[in-house]
Structures are given as C-alpha cells and as structure tokens.
Structure 1
Amino acid sequence: MTPPSPILTSPDGRFAVVQSEPWMAPHLEAIQAASFPDLAPHERMLAEHYRSQIAIFPEGQHAVLEVATGRVVACSTDLRAKVDFAHFAHKYLEAVGGNYLTTHDPMGDWLYGADIGVHPEFRGHGLSTLLYTARHRLIRRLGLKGHVAGAMPKGYGAHREQMPVEQYVQRVVRGELSDPVLSVQLRRGYAVWGIIPDYLEDASCANYGVFIVWRNPEVDS
C-alpha cells in the first residue's frame, strides 16, 4: 500500500497529517471510542460513518500517522456548512447527518468541526495542534469564512452541582478555571459564541456544547 502524501509533519518528523483514506476506517473508529468513553454509543462514529465522510467530503477528513509505524493515532472530521449565528443552537447528530456527513453543503462558507480525537497513548505530542493547523490551512485554501464547532466542555460535569454552565464557561474564558477541551480551543484563537443545551449525550459535559468560532483573517466574515 502506498503511504498517503503528508499535508504537514510534526517538527520532530515523528507524525504526519494526511487525508483520511477508507482503509483507515476501523482505526478511526478505535480512536473515537478511546477518545470519548463517556459519549453515548449511538453518537459515536463507526467505521461505516468514516467511509461515508471520506466519500462525501474527502478534503475535510484528516488523520495523523506515526511515521515509523504507519499507525493511525489521531483524526478530525469536518464538513462545509452555512451558519445562522442568530439561531446557533442545534443537535450534534442533526448537524452531521447522523455522523454520515450527508448534511455537507459544497457551497457552505464555513467549516464545521464535527470531531477531533487523539488516541490516549499519543496525547502530549501536539497532534491536535497539527490537526487544527491542517483545518485552518484548508479554510484558507478554500476561501471559507472560518471554523465553527460545538465544543464539549468536558470539565463541567465535575462542577455542575456548584455552578450553572454559563458561569463555568465564563470562568474558563477568564482563565479562572481550566477545561480540558474549551481552554485549549480558546488558546488557539477561538471565541465563545453561545451555549447549546442538549447538544449531545455525554456526562463529562452534562450534555452541553459550547458554540465556538474561529474567523479566517484573510476573509471578511
């Protein structure tokens, strides 16, 4: 099998971002399961979902390979969409076509982040940074307005008895609390637009999503 062409590589050369390919689907499913153990089973991406995503919008599907072994160790899933910021609340599964990406709009002027995951064995190597860099490069290349996503405030589940989610998110934004997902995205230049109740089923974030936005500095959005 010919190795996929790298989109970019890590500074140490150990890892490479490539466009996801159908043979990777079972490995991507395993990354999803390991990355989101608290996510409701019916909301997890399976191999059949990844194959559909690759067929529908191949440019928006990225994987990270360990160069020495060829092992698939991280991945991200995106689709193009039109965004109504006045009515941003939505259900995750509805936005992503039940994980099949049938909601992908080839004329959409925003990239919607459906998923990003790093296998726990490979965390701490900057792999999510590589994937976000690949996403932002794609946005610039396609001339899109930016990137939106429903971030999972995965630390909120432990605080839900002490404060409402609005207060939790405000404290994370101010740097008073650190959230394992939202804090990282804020450091990457994303801004909080609003809070989405019942976004998905995951106890770690009490089913909430946080609608976040990264604007392409090269396009008037």
Structure 2
Amino acid sequence: MYKKQCFVFHQNKPVTCTVRSYTSNDFDELIRIQEESFPPPFPSELLWSKAQLNNHVSLFPDGALCVEIDGTICGSITSAIVSVEGNEAHTWDEVTGSGYIHTHAPSGNTLYVVDVCVIPSHRSMGLGKLLLQSLYEVVIHYKLERLLGGCRIPGYASVSSLYTPVEYMNLVSAGTLYDPVMTFLMRCGRTPIGLAANYIEDEDSHNYAVLMEWKNPFYTAIQKEAGAKVF
C-alpha cells in the first residue's frame, strides 16, 4: 500500500499532507470529490460508482491514491497497468474497462492514468501535480516503461472554428495557445505524443483527447539488467 507525507503550500505557508492508497472507507468522500470536481455539463454517469472504486482498491491499490490534509481527502488519482504501444488509437472505455479497470495487467508496459481530480477549493496548492508525481514513483517501483493518459482539451471549444484538433494540440505544445488541462500536464512533466478521436464524451474537447506520456528515466537500464539476467 502506497503512503507518504510531504509539504504543499497555501498562501506561501507549508501545509503537511498525506498521499496514500484509498480504501473502501473513503468511497463516500471520493464520490463527493468527483461531484465537486466535475460539475455539469460533465456527464454524471462518468463519475465513480462504489462498484468501480471497489475494483480499484482490490485490483491495484498501489495505483489508487488520494491526498488528504488534516484528515480530509482533497483529491484522488486512479491508474492501471496496461499494454499500450506508442500512441496507438484507443478510447477511455477500452483502456480502462469503462472505469472498472478489468484491463489491469501486471505484465503490461504502461501505467495508465484513469482519472485525476482535486476539489476546486484546493487547486492552488499543487495537489494535482503531487498526485501525478506519486504515480511517477509507482512507474519506477514497478519498473514500467512509462505513464500514459488521455488529456482533455477543454480550451478547444472556443477556437474550434479556427483550428483543427491537431493544430490546437501543436499550438498548445508550442506555447502559442493555453489549455487549462494540457498546459498543466506539460508543467507536470508530461509530453504530448498524439491525438485520440472519440476518446470520451466531452463537449468542450469535442470528444478528443491528447495522449500524454512520462517516460521512466531508468527504463533502459532496467531492460539491460533484465537482458543480463536472461543471458
């Protein structure tokens, strides 16, 4: 089970927080956080159910994390190990088993980000970045090749008459345009590697997502070590 304590900052003052694997005792609070983090027009049927959360904690507890301050959960992140090569096309439903992570495969090469959310009142404290960095540690611990996830591009709706989705992705990558989610993930160390159409029902993103990865810097050494053991 994953657990660590560290500092985040609120109005330039250090605040102690805990990142840990969430459990069945947290389900009601996690659902409340989802409701606050993804208000309408985000589809309510895409918010976590207790059945989905139960799968997260039973199939891969090291990849189902929450962050709490003063005993109150303020955000969560969920992941699963899967086999995905490069930027091959897929949808959120396909790769995550519609959020139930039946697709979790310990022998896979990629830690896939199923969901990340932080309640609006705590979004200035760097908790989203902290949760993603915690998954980078999971990638290294499990000796995986990379972390991957589909990134919403909610800023696209306002400029969709001017740019194609690919053009929008490239302009945000170059810093010419700003997207609240994609730009945030770039600041967290993620790199855009492709575009996925019909990824998830998302009006603001026109149902597109940008596939963004973080590569394990130790992976080449891990491969060499594995090869040395084989031979």
TM-score between both structures, scaled by the size of structure 2: 0.87
Identity %: 26
Shift of 1:130: 1.1
Q: Deviations over 1:15-72 (max 9, x none)?
A: 2111111111121112222222233223222232112111111110110101x2x111
Q: Which moved more, 1:27-36 or 1:177-186?
A: 27-36
Secondary structure (helix, strand or coil) at the match of 1:139 reads: helix
- Runs of 4+ in structure 1 off by over 4 angstroms are none
Q: Which moved more, 1:9-18 or 1:100-109?
A: 9-18
- Match of 2:188, as an amino acid? R
Q: Is the 8 A contact 1:76 1:131 kept in 2?
A: yes
Shift of 1:200: 0.5
Q: Is the 8 A contact 1:82 1:108 kept in 2?
A: yes
Distance 1:106 1:200 in 2: 25
What is aligned with 2:78? 77
Q: Is the 8 A contact 2:197 2:208 kept in 1?
A: yes
Q: Deviations over 1:100-121 (max 9, x none)?
A: 1111001112100011000111
Q: What is the aligned counterpart of 1:35 among 12, 34, 37?
A: 37
Counterpart mapping for 1:108-127 below 5 A: 108-127=108-127
What is aligned with 2:7? 10
Q: Is the 8 A contact 1:110 1:144 kept in 2?
A: yes
Q: Which moved more, 1:77-86 or 1:39-48?
A: 39-48
Secondary structure (helix, strand or coil) at the match of 2:157 reads: helix
Q: Is the 8 A contact 1:82 1:109 kept in 2?
A: yes
Change (3 A) 1:106 1:6: closer
- Match of 1:46, as an amino acid? S
Q: Deviations over 1:88-135 (max 9, x none)?
A: 211111211121111100111210001100011111001012101111
Secondary structure (helix, strand or coil) at the match of 1:104 reads: coil
TM-score between both structures, scaled by the size of structure 1: 0.91
Secondary structure (helix, strand or coil) at the match of 2:56 reads: helix
Secondary structure (helix, strand or coil) at the match of 1:148 reads: strand
Secondary structure (helix, strand or coil) at the match of 1:7 reads: strand
Q: What do you get for the CA RMSD once the two structures are aligned?
A: 1.7
Shift of 1:5: 7.7
Shift of 1:161: 2.2
Shift of 1:75: 0.3
What is aligned with 2:197? 197
What is aligned with 1:141? 141
What is aligned with 1:215? 215
Q: Which moved more, 1:102-111 or 1:32-41?
A: 32-41
Q: What is the aligned counterpart of 1:60 among 37, 60, 63?
A: 63
| Unaligned residue ranges in structure 1 (runs of 5+) | none
- Match of 1:63, as an amino acid? C
Distance 2:22 2:150 in 1: 22
Q: Is the 8 A contact 1:8 1:134 kept in 2?
A: no
Shift of 1:163: 1.6
Q: Is the 8 A contact 1:10 1:130 kept in 2?
A: no
